[in-house]
């Protein structure tokens, strides 16, 4: 049957069980949006305020559900507005498919209105990208794109298509998802092993070697990284940790991969890691990192990092091995499969003396609560008391991000959604929208700072229109807190352009968008606002006044040894 390229695209989305798309229309993608009108009972479209918000929403949807997030945008500025969202998804390995339309084929390369080489622009920040010239290519490309986004190490894929490819007629035949890997272009690629579309099987000899290394270790330490979260390997990781009987340090992206209340947890590792985690890295004799790429926020100085230990890296992506830190052994594979193989062979280990040493150091930071303003700890504690334990937390980037990463206890993958690798301010509200759409029965809170919130507060309009009951909590200190902290500690208190002594009034802003809100200055006011927000069942903004000199502690400066705390 011959149908338009736009219809083939939407039929292929249904093949992938896609029922939700985030996006923003424009001239070149109008054929797709026109066809989407006929699919509105099967594909829900969430219209955001800005393409960047749509990109972050698709990402938040993917991270919280484990499904592939999908986003539409038009050509030129429409698709370039996606790039921050694409880079964020790339750095944090989030399975997403971005679909954009370009100018008609005859106008390509002529500097036509709203033309841009988006495949060239996104080449370094996507797993793969495609330019569809004709409708006849559409089905093969879409099926391959979803397989690549979700296969192996997850990540973003971009499909750009010329406008004529969406209006041309071509043959289309429905193909069940289970047959995509055996037929058409994707079937050919699988047979040729051209892409990392399948999970690599862990090597049995490599697994045995690590089992032997664990048996010889007196002071093992585990790092739970983002790969545990992406691979939904939290159950296998917990069994592994308890069999090894080792302390567990958690990277920012690993939050939710290992329960924060497990007695083996030492807390965050790295620049803002706990004393227990960082001292354990310095003193261990075997360090096993699962799904952790040893970024510069974890292994601040690779030359001195875990200098007394044999280092083992377990990762699905071979290119991550020995990239940032040289290892003594590694296993290539999906965290869930590798850990299951290890658990089969491991006998119960015991490391009481080593654990006693590690847990003699602090696993949480004690903050002064004697002042006359709300403290981050008071805010965190109030949220933990009032909100359900399984609340999804989506953050922006800055001090608030680290405070909630350090002090909340995350129980499952996808519970903390944050821009770890790219550190994109403005990520939070879009991500929270995606998480709430994907998890309508869960409480979703958006934690932000007054600096970050300015960058994406236009998405309050989206939240209000779709009646998403997201609670935004603003840690409002009137400054760019994390940058000011660096200026205090490293730049001799020269506060250059980090004071935000200006509007808006965030509660009035929320009201302008049709939402409710409250300014709070005490714990009692905060608890009352949270209860009111939860009871309302609608979006709500809580503006929390905190001191401008509140700091994230501990802090180790970039490039220093992991125990060289600047502040504790």
The model's pLDDT over 400-426, given as tens digits with 9 standing for 90+, comes to 999 999 989 999 999 999 999 999 999
* pLDDT given for residue 196 in this prediction: 63
| Active-site residue, selected from the candidate residues 138, 161, 253, 482 | 482
Tell me how far the alpha carbon of residue 58 is from its chain's centroid. 11
* Placement of tokens 């354990």 in the chain: 280
The answer to whether the beta carbons of residues 258 and 228 sit under 8 Å apart is yes
- Whether the pLDDT of residue 3 is over 80: the answer is yes
The answer to whether the beta carbons of residues 514 and 441 sit under 8 Å apart is no
Hey, is 545 helix, strand or coil?
A: strand
The answer to whether the beta carbons of residues 285 and 377 sit under 8 Å apart is no
- Whether the pLDDT of residue 373 is over 90: the answer is no
Look up 138 and say whether it is catalytic.
no
The answer to whether the beta carbons of residues 463 and 429 sit under 8 Å apart is yes
Rounded mean pLDDT, 319-342:
97
- Residues near 41 by Cβ (< 8 Å), separated by ≥ 6? none
What's this model's pTM, rounded to 2 decimal places? 0.97
Mean of all residue pLDDT scores within the chain:
96
| Active-site residue, selected from the candidate residues 35, 138, 146, 163 | 163
Look at residues 129, 104, 126 and name the one whose alpha carbon lies nearest to residue 115.
104
State the pLDDT confidence band at 188, using cuts at 50, 70 and 90: confident
State the pLDDT confidence band at 178, using cuts at 50, 70 and 90: confident
Look up 482 and say whether it is catalytic.
yes
* pLDDT given for residue 194 in this prediction: 64
* pLDDT given for residue 555 in this prediction: 96
Q: Calculate helix-pair angle for 428-438, 51-65, nearest 10 degrees.
A: 50
| Active-site residue, selected from the candidate residues 67, 105, 114, 565 | 114
Structure-block tokens of residue 479: 């400054």
Cα-atom radius of gyration of the chain, to the nearest Å?
24
Is the peptide bond prior to 536 cis by the omega test (within 30 degrees of 0)?
no
| Active-site residue, selected from the candidate residues 2, 113, 179, 326 | 113
State the pLDDT confidence band at 184, using cuts at 50, 70 and 90: confident
| Active-site residue, selected from the candidate residues 11, 15, 35, 51 | 51
The pLDDT tens digits of the residues spanning 214-251 come to 999 999 999 999 999 999 999 999 999 999 999 999 99
Hey, is 160 helix, strand or coil?
A: strand
Structure-block tokens of residue 31: 């054929």
- Whether the pLDDT of residue 209 is over 70: the answer is yes
Look up 114 and say whether it is catalytic.
yes
Look up 40 and say whether it is catalytic.
no
- Whether the pLDDT of residue 193 is over 80: the answer is no
CB atoms within 10 A of CB 498: 18
- Whether the pLDDT of residue 369 is over 80: the answer is no
């Amino acid at each position: 049957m011959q149908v338009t390229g736009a219809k083939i695209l939407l039929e292929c989305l249904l093949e992938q069980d896609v029922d939700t798309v985030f996006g923003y229309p424009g001239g070149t993608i109008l054929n797709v949006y026109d066809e989407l009108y006929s699919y509105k009972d099967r594909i829900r479209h969430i219209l955001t305020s800005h393409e960047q918000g749509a990109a972050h929403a698709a990402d938040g949807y993917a991270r919280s559900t484990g499904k592939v997030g999908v986003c539409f945008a038009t050509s030129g500025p429409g698709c370039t507005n996606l790039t921050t969202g694409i880079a964020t998804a790339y750095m944090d390995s989030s399975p997403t498919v971005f679909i954009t339309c370009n100018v008609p084929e005859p106008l390509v390369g002529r500097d036509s209105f709203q033309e841009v080489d988006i495949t060239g622009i996104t080449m370094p920040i996507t797993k793969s990208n495609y330019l569809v010239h004709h409708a006849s290519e559409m089905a093969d490309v879409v099926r391959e794109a979803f397989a690549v986004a979700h296969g192996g190490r997850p990540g973003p894929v971009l499909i750009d298509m010329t406008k004529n490819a969406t209006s041309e007629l071509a043959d289309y035949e429905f193909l069940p998802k289970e047959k995509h890997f055996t037929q058409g272009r994707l079937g050919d690629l699988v047979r040729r092993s051209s892409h990392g579309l399948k999970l690599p099987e862990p090597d049995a000899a490599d697994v045995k070697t690590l089992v032997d290394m664990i048996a010889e270790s007196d002071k093992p330490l585990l790092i739970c990284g983002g790969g545990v979260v992406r691979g939904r390997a939290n159950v296998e990781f917990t069994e592994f940790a308890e069999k090894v009987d080792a302390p567990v340090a958690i990277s920012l992206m690993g939050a939710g991969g290992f329960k924060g209340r497990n007695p083996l947890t030492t807390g965050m590792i790295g620049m803002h890691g706990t004393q227990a985690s960082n001292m354990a890295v310095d003193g261990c004799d075997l360090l096993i990192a699962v799904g952790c790429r040893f970024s510069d926020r974890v292994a601040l100085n690779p030359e001195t990092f875990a200098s007394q230990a044999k280092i083992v890296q377990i990762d699905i992506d071979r290119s991550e091995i020995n990239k940032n830190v040289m290892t003594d052994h590694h296993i290539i594979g999906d965290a869930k499969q590798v850990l299951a193989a290890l658990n089969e062979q491991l006998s119960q280990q015991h490391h009481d003396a080593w654990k006693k040493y590690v847990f003699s150091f602090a696993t949480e930071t004690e903050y002064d609560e004697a002042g006359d303003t709300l403290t981050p700890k008071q805010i965190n504690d109030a949220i933990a008391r009032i909100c359900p334990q399984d609340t999804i937390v989506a953050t922006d980037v800055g001090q608030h991000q680290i405070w909630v990463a350090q002090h909340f206890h995350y129980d499952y993958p996808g519970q903390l959604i944050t821009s770890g690798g790219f550190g994109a301010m403005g990520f939070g509200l879009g991500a929270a929208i995606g998480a709430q759409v994907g998890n309508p029965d869960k409480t979703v809170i958006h934690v932000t700072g007054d600096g970050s919130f300015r960058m994406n507060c236009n998405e309050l309009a989206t939240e209000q229109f779709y009646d998403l009951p997201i609670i935004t909590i603003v840690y409002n200190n009137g400054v760019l807190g994390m940058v000011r902290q660096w200026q205090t500690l490293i730049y001799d208190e020269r506060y250059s352009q980090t004071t935000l002594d200006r509007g808006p009034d965030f509660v009035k802003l929320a009201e302008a968008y049709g939402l409710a809100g409250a300014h709070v200055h005490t714990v009692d006011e905060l608890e009352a606002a949270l209860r009111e927000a939860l009871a309302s069942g609608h979006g709500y903004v809580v503006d929390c006044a905190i001191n401008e000199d509140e700091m994230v502690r501990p802090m180790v400066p970039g490039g220093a040894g992991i125990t060289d705390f600047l502040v504790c």
